[in-house]
Amino acid sequence: MSKTKIFAHRGASGYAPENTLEAFALAITQGADGIELDVQLTKDGIPVVIHDETIDRVTEKKGWVKDYTLKELKELTVLKNKFPEYSAAKIPTLEEVLDAVKASGIQVNIELKTGIYWYPEIEQKVADLVKKAGMKERVIYSSFNHYSIQQMKKIVPEAETAYLYSDVILNVAEYAKNTKVDGLHPAVYHVKMADFLKEYLGSNLNVRVWTVNEKADMKWLIDAGVTAIITNYPDMAVQIKKRDVI
């Protein structure tokens, strides 16, 4: 069977509200090897798992995550989601997610959301929680902010890291190697534009492609032997990997 790991993007977010305990639990049930999640900091400096810098899209309120305390965020329900059966889902803290998935043995790709707003000491706070959970060996840090990844490497030199990017970067594999980063996390749409996969796979870096939601792309990348695909539909990818469906 292919060595490609299946990572659930924001949990099994094709079936449950993204970045919630419910979506992560479902990912485990569906057989994912890992989960991907996004981390921001609250006003009181607590790492919380939410994709956007604002709460507008997933809650009934508006505003920046950084302007809400954890207590205030916990009073909100993740209302705006397309899955009525999960209407009670809340925004989880990173600590809650790590506690919830620890026993399953899955890997966790923590995406540091330091693109629009670079939260003070987010890298240290996240690293502390991972250490407290005893999950250092199972975590991969990624970010579109490559300085943030370098900051994480200063704090935890042995941490597994990866550069996220959505546009094409010239000689990206060489760049990652020169800056001692372990992996490349490119967007699927750009991997498909030209023969970039050859360069990436030839580099021996870990290559985890996002967000792979089409069956044909899943099959192509699994056959190519990428390290992982990051998908909203882990059940589909698991089936394709097992050759249960084509």
* CA distance from start to end of the chain: 14
Contact status: 146 vs ligand G3P (CB under 6 A): no
Q: Out of 230, 236, 237, 238, name the contact with ligand G3P by CB under 6 A.
A: 230
Please state the closest distance from residue 240 (CB atom) to ligand G3P, in A: 19
Distance CA 78, CA 59 (A): 5
Among ligand G3P, Mg ion, none, what binds residue 185 when CB lies within 5 to 8 Å by partner kind?
ligand G3P
Taking alpha carbons only, the member of 161, 160, 184 closest to residue 173 is 184
Taking the C-alpha atoms of residue 205 and residue 25, their distance in angstroms, rounded to an integer, is 29
Nearest to 92 by CA among 56, 45, 49, 127: 49
Which does residue 210 touch among ligand G3P, Mg ion, none (CB within 5 to 8 A, set by kind)?
A: ligand G3P
Q: CB under 8 Å to 60, separation ≥6 — which residues?
A: 76, 77, 79, 80
As measured in angstroms, the least distance from the Cβ of 111 to Mg ion is: 4
Q: Which residue is nearest to Mg ion (CB)?
A: 111
Residue 9 bears catalytic tag: yes
Considering the complex, what minimum distance in angstroms separates the CB of residue 246 from ligand G3P? 26
Q: Does 9 bind ligand G3P (CB under 6 A)?
A: yes
Residues 62-121 that bind ligand G3P (CB under 6 A): 111
Shortest distance, position 127 Cβ to Mg ion, whole Å: 18
Handedness of CA 114, 163, 166, 91 (dihedral sign): negative
User: Would you state the structure tokens that stand for residue 219, as one six-digit string?
Assistant: 């099959």
Residue nearest to ligand G3P (CB): 210
Which listed residue (2, 31, 46, 51) binds ligand G3P by CB under 6 A? 51
Q: What are phi and psi of 9, to 5 degrees?
A: -75, 115
Question: Does 38 contact ligand G3P by CB under 6 A?
Answer: yes
- Report the candidate in 183, 187, 201 with the shortest Cα–Cα distance to residue 231: 187
The region of 11-19, 24-32, 64-72, 110-118 touching Mg ion under the rule CB under 5 A is: 110-118
Residues that bind ligand G3P (CB under 6 A): 9, 36, 38, 51, 111, 142, 164, 185, 210-211, 230
Residues that bind Mg ion (CB under 5 A): 38, 111
Catalytic residues: 9, 51
